[in-house]
Amino acid sequence: MQLSTQPIVSVQWLRERLGAPDILPADCRFRLGDPAAGAAAYAGGHIPGAAYFSCDADLAGPKAEHGGRHPLPAPEVCAQRFGAAGIGPGVTVVAYDDDGSFASRLWWMLRHLGHDDVCVLDGGLPAWRAAGAPLTSQPPARPARTFTPRPRPEMVVDIAAVKSRPADVVLLDARAGERYRGEVEPLDRVPGRIPGAVHAWWEEGLGPDRRWLPPAAQRERFARIVGDRPAIAACGSGVSACANLLALALAGRWDVPLYVGSYSDWVSYPDNPVDRG
């Protein structure tokens, strides 16, 4: 299997390799309304050998006036965090959570920093439990490694690029429909969406069993939404958009960048217009 072209792996794939020194499970469970819940769930039981990564503490940097709710940490900060967890050359990271969105954030971040040996566990921890696979409450004992970040600037865009995007570039909004339409907004300053954004709810990339739809279904999904036009992925703060980027990779599209700040960055500028409805 070529991880550079296969962003997900099955429970069976991980079970067969669990405990190998070059396989690192990464627990990314998190709850936006309760930031401590993920770490508590990890302490209560996780895949053996898994390191824990908090969306707020590990997969995002300090908030500022602009830049969104989950800006990227500095590359040198990521290097310290990832290296301390045991991520380095030759180590394959298998990210998981309860639904796929936070694991996708780690998947995207590692690729953005040049570490391609990363994938997401299909079905996440629920699928692992359903298969009767082992859990532990013991923290991992893994040696630290040297993580050398090699950022890929083509994988990100900023607000200026979103404002000046050509007419054929599709801005994909991964949020749920009621937030996209501006009917509710539990997290950001004002409800609505970036003008011109197209709705692409990230959960539509999952089947009823909460596993990722196969490549053919992902291609069909994105053919309806974006076709073969260039695109930019966005959401509320650059997290669930990564799930769309994983689904796009399954569909064979690796060329879509992320607007990291997304809607939370957009509305941090009071003069920026929003669409509703």
| Beta-ladder partners of 231 | 170
Check whether residue 163 and residue 143 sit in a common domain.
Answer: no
Instruction: Classify residue 159: in a domain, yes or no.
Output: yes
CATH of the domain at 122: 3.40.250.10
**119, 151, 183: which is the final residue of a domain?**
151
pLDDT of residue 230: 98
* pTM given for the model: 0.96
Instruction: List the single range of 138-142, 143-147, 189-193, 215-219 with lowest mean pLDDT.
Output: 138-142
- Domain count along the chain: 2
Q: What is the pLDDT of residue 3?
A: 46
Same domain, 159 and 98: no
Average pLDDT, the chain: 96
Q: How confident is the model at residue 4 (pLDDT cuts 50, 70, 90)?
A: very low
Residues identified as active-site: 235
Same domain, residue pair 28 and 161? no
My answer on whether 128 and 214 are in the same domain is: no
Residue 273 in domain: no
What is the rounded average pLDDT of the residues 213-242? 98
Mean pLDDT to the nearest integer, 107-117? 97
- Check whether residue 16 and residue 131 sit in a common domain: yes
Query: For residue 33, what pLDDT is reported?
Result: 85
Judge whether 276 lies within some domain. Answer: no
| pLDDT of amino acid 80 | 97
| 69 band by pLDDT with thresholds 50, 70 and 90 | very high
Name the more confident of 32 and 205: 205
Residues 14 and 147 in one domain: yes
Q: How far does the chain reach from its first CA to its final CA, in angstroms?
A: 44
Query: Does residue 272 sit within a domain?
Result: no
Based on the fold, state whether residues 188 and 233 are members of the same structural domain. yes
Is 90 exceeded by the pLDDT of residue 156?
yes
Last residue of a domain, one of 151, 177, 204: 151
pLDDT band at 6 (very low <50, low <70, confident <90, very high): confident
Contacts of 53 (CB under 8 A, 6+ apart): 26, 27, 28, 59, 81, 85, 95, 106
Letter string b/e over residues 42-64, b meaning 16 or more CB atoms within 10 A of that residue's CB: beeebbebbbbbbbeebbbeeee
H or E element in which residue 199 lies: strand 198-199
Q: List the one residue out of 253, 246, 233, 247 whose CA is nearest residue 106.
A: 246
On whether both 87 and 144 belong to a single domain, the answer is: yes
Among 82, 117, 151, the domain boundary falls at 151
pLDDT of residue 107 exceeding 70, the answer is yes
Structure tokens at 46: 């996780």
Residue 79's domain spans which residues? 8-151
- Whether residues 141 and 208 share a domain: the answer is no
Same domain, 147 and 33: yes
Q: Are residues 191 and 213 in the same domain?
A: yes
